[in-house]
Amino acid sequence: MTERRAKLPWHLFKAEHKAVGRSVCFALGADDTDAWFMLSQIIFARLEPEEQAGLAFAAMRALPSDIRWDLLEAMGEVELPTGSPLPPFTEDIASDANWWASSASNEELRAYFVAIINYMSDDDKKIAAQKLLRKQ
């Protein structure tokens, strides 16, 4: 006699969780690098950070310990956010801005750049564009 499994109330599961589950199945079935990269984007878009961490923790724990280190090494350096710029420490605002920018992640640099450009006057935008074009 086969053992009966309890029926799960699928209608109570979040749509995001169902989507991630289907995507995991797709990546496993495709067994293709692109499918695994796509899965990481889906996990990022559909799960909360705590859920992402839980999933990553479970996956890492399932690996043999020697493979865990290889995987961490293959991931490369992870950029940690610097956080928002602080008020200037000195009278030299440009120096403080350069210090912050040198430690900011690429994502932070892009986000602050776009926000700054959006709030600049048209004249300041022209000056910034001219300076950027001269650097090329």
Every domain of the chain and the residues it spans? 10-75, 93-135
Going by C-alpha positions, the residue among 93, 97, 69, 73 that lies closest to residue 85 is 97
Residues, the chain, total? 136
Nearest Cα to Cα of residue 20 among 40, 41, 43: 43
pLDDT reported for residue 81: 65
**Entry pTM:** 0.48
| Alpha-carbon gap, residue 60 to 133, rounded angstroms | 46
Residue 135 tokens read as 């650097």
Place of tokens 């710029």: 85
Position 80 scores a pLDDT of: 58
Give the up-direction half-sphere exposure of residue 101: CA atoms within 13 A in the CB hemisphere: 11
| The amino acid at 117 | I
Query: Which tens digits make up the pLDDT trace of 40-94?
Result: 888 988 889 999 999 998 998 898 888 888 887 777 766 656 777 777 767 888 8
Residue 22, Cα to own-chain centre: how many angstroms?
21
Token readout for 77 is 């350096």
Show the DSSP H helices in 5-121 as ranges. 15-30, 33-46, 49-62, 65-75, 93-103, 106-119
